[in-house]
Structure 1
Amino acid sequence: MTKRKESNRRYRMLRQFFLYLFLAFLIGCGPSQTIKKEGTEEKPEKTESESKKHYNIGYEYLKMKMYSDAIINFEKAIEDSATYVDAYLALAKAYIETQQYGLAEETYKTMIEKVPSTLKGWTGLGSLYVKMARYDDAIEAYNKGMQIDSLNASVYHGLGHVYEKKKDHEKAREYLERAYNLEPENRAIAFALAKIYLKLERCNEASVLLAKIAKEFPKDIEVALSLGDAYYDCKKYSEALEQYKKVEPELPEFATINIKKAKSLEGLRRYSEAAEEYLKAVDKSENKRIPYIHLINMYLKIKNYGKAQKYITQAFAVAPNDPALNCMKGDVYLGYGDGARARKNKKGYETAIAHYKTAKGWYRKALGDAQWRKYAEGGIKRADIKIKNTQQEMWYGDD
């Protein structure tokens, strides 16, 4: 047995020891039983402390992910107190963690029946239905919760989440703004609203909201990344780069950070630095194709076809006959053709036509791919037009 296995075994033993010690303490603190006289049939009365005891034991099991034991104790707590809201919620959570969604649904419905005045049954049911992709049922559940408390932010937050899942981002924004107005200090609501603003391309509103959250939660990596994305969408490339640099030490092996830094540097026209970041992402990525495509696309945009060609060749080594790379290769040869044509002499025109024909060959390689077919067809049409125009220039001049 290795030292690591031995350490893990000791950790599990200690964890179980302290759990059992805690449970023994809870049981020992329970109400003492009255000694019954011989011959009596009287049953001990269930007390609130017994329900609480079972709930506490179940909660410890839940934290330890010992779900079967947790469920048994939560059920005992509910048996002792049929209106114990926290026990219903915890029981439903245990069922959800074990993917027993039908039993979780039944638990919420029983809770709603036994404690009709509580909102938590409806919001729990709504959240469950979202997880099950039953969006219309989720909307109905949240609307019923709204009838109990129309000023509760969690209802509007939940509805916003449903409509986000339904891709109705404008409707999601309406509900999340209501939730935010009710609880402006609620981080989860503020963050959800900011993400919707980003999806609606309202980057200024998103960046203001995210900056506020980041100030309060400076170590929240997800918030910092989203703020960087908001700045990038607003073309505030320096601010975006600064945010990504803050996050990088926390995620040193996360290639996406290098890609985001590179795109910000592109926006600042610092192309050499951007290329360095893309190549770092290539080194870190399992799927090296993605950072290569970003790098090649940058060189195509600035018409550095030689560098684009170089990295296409490298990318083909990890993604042979990739349709995106085939199209980019076509773009390179269109660029080569334009350069030769610009010389405005017979040799230049002939070279340009040859390059355009080569470009068509590379585009044809991508015609079988559904995602890239349209782009490839467009590339072939562009090449044909360039060939025709170049021939006319060669035969008749520019006039």
Structure 2
Amino acid sequence: MQLSNEEEDYNLSLSKFESMLKTNKVLFFDSEEFEEIILHYLDMGKASLAKKALKLALEQHPKSTGLKLVQVEMLVYDDKLDTAEKLLNELFAIEPHNEEIYIQKASIYSKRDDHEKAVEFLKTALQYTDDYADVYNLMGMEYLFMDNLEMAKDSFIRCLEEDFEDQAALYNVVYCFEFLDQNQEAIDYLAKYIERNPYSEIAWHQTGRLHYGLKQYEQALRAFDYATLIDDEFLGAFMEKAKSLERLKRYEDAIEAYNRTIELEDPTSYALLRIGKCHERLGNKALALKFFNKTVHEDPLLDKGWIAITDFYVRLKNYQKALFYVNKALNIDNQNRLYWKRYATINKEMNFYEEAEFGYRKAVEFGDTELDTWLFWVDILQFLGEFETAIDTLLQASEFYTDAYEVEYRLAGLYFMLHEDTKGKFHIANALRSSFENHVMLEELFPVIWTRKIVQNAINKHRK
């Protein structure tokens, strides 16, 4: 690729400077050359070289405002804010209309967390600058620091009106819209932006993301298609396209899109996992398992990969293998309530009731409040003869599910089993009032107490 004259000059200046450092010969550079060299080293994170260049620059050009402004930038970078401000005040006395002075003042106040004052200086800079886009972009960032998302959004939009190719500003505009929960407004804005810049793959990609978030998968797919047509190596767009196709149940097309991400970059465990899921939904069980195994080979610490294999074997009712793989997932994340619930369910299917009880207990401990989890847990406690623990557990469940007939019938049955008839009568009355048609649940769960006169009287009384 042929370099422009400016790029050639820049590279020559850089080579000349580095050669000078090696030979200790002092060579002359004009002030603009020095500015570019210093900023290059700052961008590269080579602060010591930037300081060397600045020292030489100021020796050769002691009155250069541009170099002194670079010096200010470096002082701000080093958090020497008072020294930087003093130098700026000196420069202001010489050049009061230099917009860079106000921009650097804003930078100082931003570092001091006085973002309102920083915005004031940036507004003044707008009066003197030719680069409106840069100043509006800086204002947008200050408003973000203040959590003023509306003003930030407005500033980034103004930045894009001046420079519609500023991709960072485009991302920031979308971020503001999303944070303000204005997804549809963001889509409308991007549609206008695309009218001006139809070949912006970023705009199409962001449009697709927003449609996807609104569950508008057809529109999302269309946007991702455009993004990948404009840039056929846009990894993120291919990944999002694949997810949209999956949502639309176009599993073969989704596999093709996921495969494209693998062509563009080394296989990711996420892509391999999703390909496996697509194959499973297509009924390709062998291929599904092959990709699930590839997933965990690629990333052995990806618990979702082990869970995918667990679920695969659960569907095949191969509980022995399912138990092996759910334990793999729990070794990685042993505080995941969904994994503990799977562990419990698998053990229950294998008639390992103590292990199942432990699994349901851990699931609840880590935040599972689903009614069926409580009920499975209690039924196992009852099976194990731990009636009092079962009652305590149901009373916990009743805090989440007030007057749920499934809880009330079980409480009634357990109290009758323990011959605490007063409490039994109270809960059977609650249960019958809540759902009389399900009273046969007592017979199914507690056949021992079903024929007792106290139970039948309560049922008959409610029936009448």
With structure 2 as the length reference, what TM-score do the two structures score?
0.57
CA 1:103/1:74 → structure 2, altered by over 3 Å: closer, same or farther?
A: farther
* Contact 2:194–2:203 under 8 Å retained in 1: yes
Residue 140 of structure 1 and its aligned partner are, at CA, apart by 1.3
> Identity of paired residues, percent?
14
Aligned match of 2:373 in 356, 376, 379? 379
* Contact 1:83–1:111 under 8 Å retained in 2: no
Structure of higher RCO (CA pairs closer than 8 Å, 6+ residues apart): 1
* Contact 1:58–1:74 under 8 Å retained in 2: no
Q: Which amino acid aligns with 1:115?
A: L
CA 1:253/1:152 → structure 2, altered by over 3 Å: closer, same or farther?
A: closer
CA 1:198/1:301 → structure 2, altered by over 3 Å: closer, same or farther?
A: farther
Distance (whole Å) between structure 1 residues aligned to residue 16 and residue 289 of structure 2: 54
Distance (whole Å) between structure 2 residues aligned to residue 152 and residue 16 of structure 1: 29
Q: Which amino acid aligns with 1:20?
A: E
The count of residues paired between Structure 1 and Structure 2 equals 334
* 1:60 and 2:60 aligned: no
Measured against aligned partners, the alpha-carbon deviations of 1:34-85 in whole angstroms (never above 9, x if no partner) come to: xxxxxxxxxxxxxxxx5x4454234322342235838974714995977677
RMSD: 4.7
Residue 364 of structure 1 and its aligned partner are, at CA, apart by 2.0
* Contact 1:156–1:178 under 8 Å retained in 2: no
CA 1:272/1:289 → structure 2, altered by over 3 Å: closer, same or farther?
A: same
Equivalent residues in 2 for 1:202-221, closer than 5 Å: 202-221=216-235
> Match of 1:365?
362
Residue 17 of structure 1 and its aligned partner are, at CA, apart by 5.8
* 1:20 and 2:15 aligned: no
* Contact 2:153–2:176 under 8 Å retained in 1: no
* Contact 1:180–1:189 under 8 Å retained in 2: yes
Distance (whole Å) between structure 2 residues aligned to residue 84 and residue 205 of structure 1: 48
Equivalent residues in 2 for 1:141-152, closer than 5 Å: 141-143=152-154
> Match of 1:265?
279
* 1:159 and 2:173 aligned: yes
CA 1:392/1:29 → structure 2, altered by over 3 Å: closer, same or farther?
A: closer
* Contact 1:82–1:114 under 8 Å retained in 2: no
Measured against aligned partners, the alpha-carbon deviations of 1:297-347 in whole angstroms (never above 9, x if no partner) come to: 34445655454234224444555575433200233356x38xxxxxxxxxx
> Match of 2:262?
248
Q: Which amino acid aligns with 2:42?
A: L
Distance (whole Å) between structure 1 residues aligned to residue 329 and residue 37 of structure 2: 56
Q: Which amino acid aligns with 1:248?
A: I
> Match of 1:349?
none
Equivalent residues in 2 for 1:167-186, closer than 5 Å: 167-186=181-200
CA 1:273/1:83 → structure 2, altered by over 3 Å: closer, same or farther?
A: farther
CA 1:186/1:389 → structure 2, altered by over 3 Å: closer, same or farther?
A: same
Distance (whole Å) between structure 2 residues aligned to residue 57 and residue 87 of structure 1: 20
Q: Which amino acid aligns with 1:366?
A: A
CA 1:170/1:29 → structure 2, altered by over 3 Å: closer, same or farther?
A: same
Q: Secondary structure at the match of 1:367?
A: helix
Q: Which amino acid aligns with 2:18?
A: Y
> Match of 1:192?
206
CA 1:281/1:177 → structure 2, altered by over 3 Å: closer, same or farther?
A: same
Q: Which runs of 5+ in 2 are unaligned?
A: 1-12, 55-66, 72-87, 380-405, 411-439, 448-464
With structure 1 as the length reference, what TM-score do the two structures score?
0.65
* 1:135 and 2:141 aligned: no
Residue 246 of structure 1 and its aligned partner are, at CA, apart by 2.0
Distance (whole Å) between structure 1 residues aligned to residue 278 and residue 112 of structure 2: 44
Equivalent residues in 2 for 1:1-399, closer than 5 Å: 20-21=18-19, 28=28, 30=30, 50=31, 52-53=32-33, 55-66=35-46, 69=50, 73=67, 75-76=69-70, 100=111, 102=113, 110-116=121-127, 118-130=132-144, 132=145, 134-136=146-148, 138-143=149-154, 158-252=172-266, 254-285=268-299, 287-301=301-315, 304-316=318-330, 318=332, 323-333=337-347, 336=349, 359-370=356-367, 373-375=368-370, 377-381=371-375, 384=379, 392=444
Q: Which amino acid aligns with 1:259?
A: L
Residue 162 of structure 1 and its aligned partner are, at CA, apart by 0.8
* Contact 1:360–1:380 under 8 Å retained in 2: no
CA 1:19/1:163 → structure 2, altered by over 3 Å: closer, same or farther?
A: farther
* Contact 1:109–1:121 under 8 Å retained in 2: no
Residue 221 of structure 1 and its aligned partner are, at CA, apart by 1.8
Residue 368 of structure 1 and its aligned partner are, at CA, apart by 0.9
- Greater shift after overlay, 279-288 or 317-326? 317-326
CA 1:368/1:392 → structure 2, altered by over 3 Å: closer, same or farther?
A: closer
Distance (whole Å) between structure 1 residues aligned to residue 290 and residue 197 of structure 2: 44
> Match of 1:46?
none
Q: Secondary structure at the match of 1:244?
A: helix
Distance (whole Å) between structure 2 residues aligned to residue 106 and residue 65 of structure 1: 28
